[in-house]
Chain A
Amino acid sequence: MTNMAEKLKAEAPLLGTELTTGRRGPGSPQKSGRLRHKTREQKSRTINIVVYGVLVVLVFALLVPFFWMISSSLKENNQVLTVPIQWIPQEFVWSNYTEIWTRIPMMGYLQNSLYLAVIITCLQVLTGSLAAYGFSKVRFPGRDVLFLAYIGTIAVPWQAYMVPQYIMMQQLGLTNSFTSLILLQAFGAFGVFLMRQYYMTIPDELCEAARIDGLSEYGIWARVILPLSKPALASLALLTFVNTWNDYMGPFIYLTSNRLWTVQLGLRSFVGQFDAEYAMIMTGSVISVVPILIIFLIGQRYFIQGIATSGMKG
């Protein structure tokens, strides 16, 4: 860690000077008349440089666990926890990434995770956006009370009712099946809430105009509201997908046979069985994170918007 910190400290000022020279170039010919304006500009520039420096150090420090994870996944087991720390493997052991598929049924785990995540996401987005239309664009008695019930359950910790849910699934004979997880997670109140928050920002006049044009309510939902709410749909889909993919407790409680396990369960059991195979464990971790990283990089805008919408306008 020390090497890293020193390296960062050495890098940060360098990056700072690079930025100053880069920024001073176009800035200097502008000799604005007012002195006060100029000093202020200079001041904010130095602040920016300091902020850059701080941010670079901070972000590198925060990303150290990821860096360490990737670096360890390319080592031999006995090279992972060494004194002093090797940040870069002496020899890159790429074979970890070919061996893991035969050590544990990783492909099956990935398929199971993908299957669950896709089905749950589709159902959640479909039923959530339908219900949100009912809650925001159709007026009928009892609607707001019902919506309060939805919001109320968001406040109840899931752990508080996981036991009755489990009993129910047991009685239905659905434990140890994907069906149980799909039923439990596809109709979440959160999705309805997020979509409704977004639909409330779409002016009612648009629906009114469509009604006058003779569109049915279902037509308005499909042809007016859905196309307008693409960002919210993307947010909900991405958040649901990632949540399902990362979910540990659900599969942990409901899926007992190995052939149904998701990536998270498979990885956890691998750690339990072979706790000294540090490098292979890190390889598995990297593989479990990569799909999330790809999805996140494609849709990061929607993640952040989704959180801001569901959070702030509540």
Chain B
Amino acid sequence: MTTETTTQATAPLLGRGNRKQARRNALIGWSFILPNFLGFLAFTLIPVLAAFALSFMEWDSFSAPKWVGLENFQRMLGSDSFWIALRNTLLYALGHVPLTMGLALVLAMLLNRKLKGIGFFRVAIFFPYITSLVAVAVVWNMLFSPETGPINQFLQTVGVANPPGWTSSSDWALPAVIITSVWRDMGYYMILYLAGLQAVPAELYEAAEVDGANAWQRFWNVTIPSLRPTTFFVLVMLTVSSFKVFDLIVVMTDGGPGRSTTVLSQLIYQEGIGEGKFGYSSAISLVLFLIVLTVTVLQFKIQQRRER
């Protein structure tokens, strides 16, 4: 971090009052941080560490916690609820990440120009992202109604004889959730891509044009490489948020029909808060965290190799 080097560089300049000054600074610094830090420590940091420890214990709220080593993990690996939830979470991520990313990029490219009223389009596309989730889920559930819903009526008029049952079919419930979440999230990532596009120097495009590059070549050789940091950030954020998917599923399908849309977060909730199996649910949490961590680290490594 740059700040550390500057501290070291200026420290000798301070001279004799140095140590006293440092102590004073520490006191002042902590006094600023403390109000937030106390809450952060108690309600975020400690629970994070507790989740880690609990995954090696057996504990319900009545008896004392008991150390059981890897037993929770063994039980987890032998339960098909876990594998189904893991599979559904992965499938969700596989659908949600590329679709959201692609659409967000296309929208950002379309919106990255100076046109009258462009602000309206940006705002309209962003709005679903901050609309309350319950309203979104309720509306889309009705749009997806198998018999008389607008979406299936539309599909029938364009020639799909047997439109899918969406949220009432165990094969189509997950796609329905993915469509809803892509619709909701793409405005957010579009904003990130817009910020990225606006940072691309115009000279690059001009130079490419002088060299005779057509629009497609400019896109492929100028836009895409310049957007690499943004794409990387978007990819990390999207993957992490896909693995965390929770509330949309709870409100839209509640994991059903059957277990066809149950995801990891929901399993943690059901086992932990629903059933009171604190240790077992923490073991699943740890797996969720490790997956998120691995994906993030992997993406960082790939990004670093590309930059070299």
Contact = CB atoms under 8 A, between A and B. Distances in A.
Chain A bound to chain B: yes
Interface of A: 1-2, 48, 51-52, 54-55, 58-59, 62-63, 65-66, 68-69, 72, 80-85, 126-128, 130-131, 133-135, 138-144, 146, 149-150, 153, 155-168, 170, 183-184, 186-189, 191-192, 217, 221, 242, 245-246, 248-249, 252-253, 263-264, 267-268, 271, 278, 281-282, 285-286, 288-289, 292-293, 296, 300, 303-304, 307-308, 311-312, 314
Contacts of B194: 308
Contact of A2 (B36, B122, B154, B292): B154
B110 A55 contact: yes
A248 B133 contact: yes
B138 A267 contact: yes
Given A143-B29, A292-B131, 5 more contacts: A1-B153, A83-B148, A134-B30, A142-B26, A311-B191
A271 to B, nearest CB: 6
A152 to B, nearest CB: 9
Interface stretch (B37-45, B74-82, B90-98, B164-172): B37-45
A293 B131 CA distance: 8
A58 B125 CA distance: 9
SS class, residues of chain B in contact with chain A: helix
A264 B48 contact: no
A293 B50 CA distance: 39
Contacts of B1: 144
Contacts of A166: 272-273
Contacts of B162: none
B61 A140 contact: no
Contact of B188 (A128, A155, A285, A307): A307
A263 to B, nearest CB: 7
Contacts of B127: 66, 293, 296
Which among A187, A278, A293 has the greatest number of chain B C-beta atoms within 10 A?
A187
Q: How large is the interface on B (under 10, 10 to 19, 20 to 34, 35 or more residues)?
A: 35 or more
A246 B133 contact: yes
Contacts of A189: 40, 44
A138 B4 CA distance: 12
Contacts of A52: 115
Which among B31, B37, B135, B285 has the greatest number of chain A C-beta atoms within 10 A?
B135
A188 B44 CA distance: 8
Nearest to A50: B110
Contact of B183 (A48, A65, A282, A292): A65
A153 B44 contact: yes
A130 B32 contact: yes
Contact of B140 (A65, A252, A289, A307): A65
A229 to B, nearest CB: 14
Contacts of A160: 48, 51, 268, 285-286, 288-289
25 contacts: A63-B124, A68-B139, A68-B142, A81-B149, A131-B37, A140-B25, A140-B29, A149-B45, A155-B292, A160-B51, A160-B285, A163-B51, A163-B54, A163-B272, A168-B47, A184-B43, A187-B36, A192-B40, A217-B28, A217-B32, A248-B247, A268-B134, A271-B138, A292-B130, A308-B191
